[in-house]
Structure 1
Amino acid sequence: MAFKSFKTLSVIASVGTAVLFTGYSSQALAMTPFQASYQFAYNGKNLGSATRTLKKSGNTWNYVFAAKAGGIASATETSNFTFNNNQIQSSNFSRTSKILVHNNTMSIKFNPSAKTINTTKDKEQRSFAWKSGVLDELNAELQIREDLKNNGLKSQYWIADAKEVESRRFIKQGAEKVETKYGTFDTIKVVMKHDKPGRETIFWLSPKLDYLPVKVTHQDKKSSYGLLLTGYNGPQN
């Protein structure tokens, strides 16, 4: 079923620096609230829509990814974090999904003082040792965007999910022009490396839209998923 991979699409997150690309603005924008809308496709068929929304209240940031396909399925992911010295400090993350009458939930609580990361998936609980700079699957996209605007991508990113804290790599693969319903954009193409064979996630990030992902694709063996930008309200270069 397509919607079991909403969590992958949200990370897609999203990737080097802009000054390396001729014609791109070298001005780095500070992290700023925005909202973006997308068309969601499964195996080449458009099934629904999705949104990314970033808000700030005091020192806390709230990032939400929501997707739906009619009355059949829906999923929402929420990440709360703080942001200091160009580094995200994760606070908590949650995911809820519904396919017909079936509901699933997952949550992560980051406890830097106790040096633990606690997860709950449905009724199963786990606890992991703390990792410096650990991210969740949603705010990882924002950290990658900030790194691109500043000193370039890190060699690895520690990301927590329900079962583990694992290292992932994001590899820049040049520049491409992407057509969307919202317009045509010069983008940076970034691939997220998976350890499992038959899987590949690619992001196309627009420096003009503060490195927003304007297109995302994920291949999982014989199944494919995608997001394509349809609207945007936020900072632009």
Structure 2
Amino acid sequence: MQATKLHFFPKFIVTVMLMIFGFTAHADDVPESLVQFHAKYTAYKWGDDVGTAEIKLQELAPQQYALTYSSEVSKFFLSDERFEYSVFHLRGGKLVPAEYRYKRKGTGRDSSLTVQFSQQPEPTITISDQASLPWNNETDNQLYRIDVPLQLAAGKRSMAYHFINYRGEPKTYQIDVVGEENIEVPFGRLDTIKVKIVRQASSRETFAWFAPTLDYNLVRLQQFKDGQEQGDLKLSSYIPVN
């Protein structure tokens, strides 16, 4: 039974953070440049250390950035490795997605996805080898990881995101601040802002904690399904990059 439940844990990892950006949403509060960083996390299941995850934000060129997410999770005979890579631009105070790549391997079926966002000759989204779709301000599956901290720093209490997920499907998340908490993670004890991620027609419940002293970045993510914990991701290292 435990092995079966563990299979759902990688979905929690993807959620992670599963959140949003690039297009135009909440762009009024985006600064002229972004703080580059490298964050590492420890993944837990039933209180056991089962893997790691990393998030990196790098400037590729003036006003062009890359956001990378990777994770490795294993327990018993099950394993899951995931990689997400986004290239986006900071234009006129807006985060504009350009390209998103996703790969997954491990127990079960391997999968991959590429999403291209193009504004010429007209706004379109191309998902792997599928026909192009109209681009109506959707973002990719992970840029929220940068936008949520920006909105919290600006004092926002509620955010909505429309995005293309790692399966190539359009999705919407509602993210609401539920309070402030002082929590302990491997990195140390931190004052945080706690938010709840609400999905359409889903029994999953996700909470995330962001630390103002660490540029409002994510320090913990915990997910439940039908009242049972799927996973708990906690910050172990955070390095801002000049």
By the TM > 0.5 criterion, same fold? yes
Q: Does 1:209 align with 2:214?
A: yes
Task: Judge conservation of contact 1:158–1:168 (CA < 8 Å) in 2.
Answer: yes
Q: Deviations over 1:167-195 (max 9, x none)?
A: 32110111001101111110001111111
Q: CA deviation at 1:69?
A: 2.9
- In 2, distance between residues paired with 1:148 and 1:86? 16
Q: Give 2:91's match in structure 1, choosing from 84, 108, 126.
A: 84
Select which of 195, 198, 206 maps to 1:193.
Answer: 198
Distance 2:229 2:158 in 1: 30
Q: Tell whether the 8 Å contact from 2:55 to 2:68 is kept in structure 1 after alignment.
A: yes
Aligned equivalent of 1:21: none
CA distance in 2, matches of 1:187, 1:154: 16
1:151-209 CA distance string (max 9 Å, x none): 62565222112343333211011100110111111000111111124211111000000
Q: C-alpha separation between the residues in 2 aligned to 1:135 and 1:215? A: 23
* Secondary structure in structure 2 of the residue aligned to 1:135: coil
1:36 aligns with 2:39: yes
Task: Give unmatched runs, 5+ long, in structure 2.
Answer: 1-6, 21-30
Q: Are the counterparts in 1 of residues 42 and 51 from structure 2 also a CA contact under 8 Å?
A: yes
Deviation at 1:66, TM superposition (A): 0.7
What does residue 126 of structure 2 align with? 118
Query: Is the contact between residue 178 and residue 186 of structure 1 (CA under 8 Å) also seen in structure 2?
Result: yes
Q: Per-residue CA shift, 1:94-123, capped at 9, x if unaligned?
A: 111111484211121111223221213xxx
Q: How much has 1:136 moved relative to structure 2?
A: 1.3
Answer whether contact 2:158 2:176 (CA < 8 A) is retained: no
Distance in 2 between residues matched to 1:42 and 1:109, nearest whole Å: 34
What letter corresponds to residue 222 of structure 2 in structure 1?
T
**In 1, are the aligned partners of 2:10 and 2:73 still within 8 Å (CA)?**
no
Which residues in structure 2 correspond to 1:136-155 (within 5 Å)?
136-150=140-154, 152=156, 155=159
Q: 2:56 aligns with which of 49, 53, 57?
A: 53
- CA spacing shift, 1:177–1:85, aligned 2, 3 Å: farther
- CA RMSD between the two structures: 2.7
1:107 aligns with 2:111: no
The change in CA–CA distance for 1:159 and 1:179 in structure 2 (over 3 A counts) is same
Deviates more, 1:153-162 or 1:220-229: 153-162
Segments of structure 1 that go 5 or more residues without pairing to the other structure are 14-27
Q: Residue by residue, what CA displacement relative to the aligned partner does 1:60-94 show, whole Å, maximum 9, x if unpaired?
A: 10111111136933111111101134421001111
Q: State the TM-score, normalizing by the size of structure 2.
A: 0.80
Ranges of 4+ aligned residues in structure 1 off by more than 6 Å: none
Return the TM-score normalized by structure 1.
Answer: 0.82
2:67 is the alignment partner of 1:69: no
Query: What percentage of residue pairs aligned between the two structures are identical?
Result: 20
Selected match of 1:8 from 7, 15, 22: 15
